[in-house]
């Protein structure tokens, strides 16, 4: 089974160290070199691959420094991010599979947050960058609501409820606070919020939860919910994309009560 170690970076980012038992290591999103370097020092295995989910600096800022320390390192990203991801060596297409170590890696194009966003599927794990967060989704910096809705609901959700989700930031408590505000009678949201607050109070990450939890608690994949539609002042005549767009706009200006 793939071993995934979250690496806290910057203020609230995660990089991920991947070990599939092959003797090779990979990192998803080298946000900054220092914490990744420290994690690598604790193992004798060789870093051979970096998987970048998108071009934003807080996800690729350490690429060139790490690449300089690991000759032959392959840095993967989506093909349309050519020139935007530092040190990129491999330009992936939607649905492309590649071999790293003894693992098959599948790249899924998930535009919305950025046009070149890509998720990586390895076994029962998916690395979603800033597209799917736990109980939330990323802001629409380059894409449209329709793009992001499709990326979440038509590309990522069908991966199955047992898939473990590893996203780019520790935003879970804030996302669940928003979820509770738009679907106040959702018991699963309240329970997950309590659980996430407890984990954070102990300094533990929330990432790596099952995709099934998103189906129960993430408003951005629950656009058919009558309660959410009521909160957005939309009825059953509104499309799911219209509900999604209203949710994203509301989340952009949401401030949790103190």
Residues 131 and 117: beta-carbon distance below 8 Å: yes
pTM: 0.96
Distances (CA, A) of 148 to 43, 67, 238: 37, 31, 17
Give residue 1's pLDDT.
81
Distance CA 156, CA 106 (A): 12
Residue of 58, 94, 124, 240 with catalytic role = 58
**Distance in angstroms (rounded) separating the CA atoms of residues 155 and 79:** 18
Q: Which of 20, 29, 90, 130 is catalytic?
A: 130
Place of tokens 């992936």: 92
Ordered per-residue pLDDT tens for the chain, 258 residues: 899 999 999 999 999 999 999 999 999 999 999 999 999 999 989 999 999 999 999 999 999 999 999 999 999 999 999 999 999 999 999 999 999 999 999 999 999 999 999 999 999 999 999 999 999 999 999 999 999 999 999 999 999 999 999 999 999 999 999 999 999 999 999 999 999 999 999 999 999 999 999 999 999 999 999 999 999 999 999 999 999 999 999 999 998 765
| Alpha helices for 14-166 (secondary structure H) | 33-41, 57-60, 63-69, 145-150
For 159-218, what is the HEC assignment? Answer: HCCCCEEEECECCHHHHHHHHHHHCCCCHHHHHHHHHHHHHHHCCCCCCCEEHHHHHHHC
Q: What is the DSSP letter of 224?
A: T
Place of tokens 């070199």: 33
Task: Give me the catalytic one of 55, 56, 109, 149.
Answer: 56
Q: How many helices (H) and strands (E) does the chain have?
A: 9, 14
Q: Which residue in the block uniquely carries the two structure tokens 């939309």?
A: 234
Told to judge if 55 belongs to the known catalytic residues of this protein, a careful annotator would answer: no
Q: Is 130 a catalytic site residue?
A: yes
**Partner residues linked to 120 by β-bridges:** 107, 127
State yes or no: is 70 an active-site residue.
no
| Candidates 55, 59, 76, 149; catalytic one | 59
Query: Two tokens at 214?
Result: 């998103």
Structure token digits, residue 139: 């802001």
Catalytic site residue 113? yes
Query: Would you call 19 a catalytic residue per the annotation?
Result: no
- Tell which residue, 136, 171, 197, 219, has the closest CA to residue 14: 171
Single out the catalytic residue among 55, 76, 109, 169.
Answer: 169
The set of residues, in sequence order, having a beta carbon less than 8 Å from that of 237 and lying 6+ positions away, is: none
58 a catalytic residue: yes
User: Measured between alpha carbons, how far is 176 from 196 in angstroms, rounded to an integer?
Assistant: 9
């Amino acid at each position: 089974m793939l071993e995934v170690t979250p690496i806290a970076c910057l203020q609230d980012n995660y990089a991920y160290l991947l070990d599939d038992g092959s003797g090779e290591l990979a990192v998803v999103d080298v946000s900054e070199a220092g914490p990744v370097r420290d994690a690598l020092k604790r193992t004798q295995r060789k870093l051979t691959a970096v998987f970048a989910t998108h071009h934003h600096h807080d996800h690729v800022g350490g690429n060139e420094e790490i690449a300089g320390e690991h000759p032959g390192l392959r840095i993967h990203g989506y093909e349309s991010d050519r020139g935007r991801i530092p040190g990129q060596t491999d330009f992936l297409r939607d649905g492309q599979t590649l071999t790293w170590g003894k693992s098959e890696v599948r790249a899924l194009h998930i535009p919305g947050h950025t046009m070149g966003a890509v998720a990586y599927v390895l076994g029962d794990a998916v690395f979603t960058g800033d597209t799917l967060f736990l109980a939330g989704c990323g802001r629409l910096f380059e894409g449209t609501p329709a793009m992001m809705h499709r990326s979440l609901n038509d590309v990522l959700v069908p991966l199955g409820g047992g898939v473990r989700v590893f996203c780019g930031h520790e935003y879970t408590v804030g996302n669940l606070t928003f979820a509770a505000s738009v679907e106040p009678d959702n018991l699963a949201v309240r329970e997950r919020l309590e659980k996430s607050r407890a984990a954070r109070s102990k300094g533990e990450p929330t990432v790596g939860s099952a995709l099934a939890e998103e189906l129960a608690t993430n408003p951005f994949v629950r656009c058919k919910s009558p309660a959410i539609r009521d909160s957005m002042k939309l009825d059953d005549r509104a499309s799911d994309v219209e509900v999604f767009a209203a949710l994203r706009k509301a989340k952009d200006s949401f401030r949790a009560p103190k």
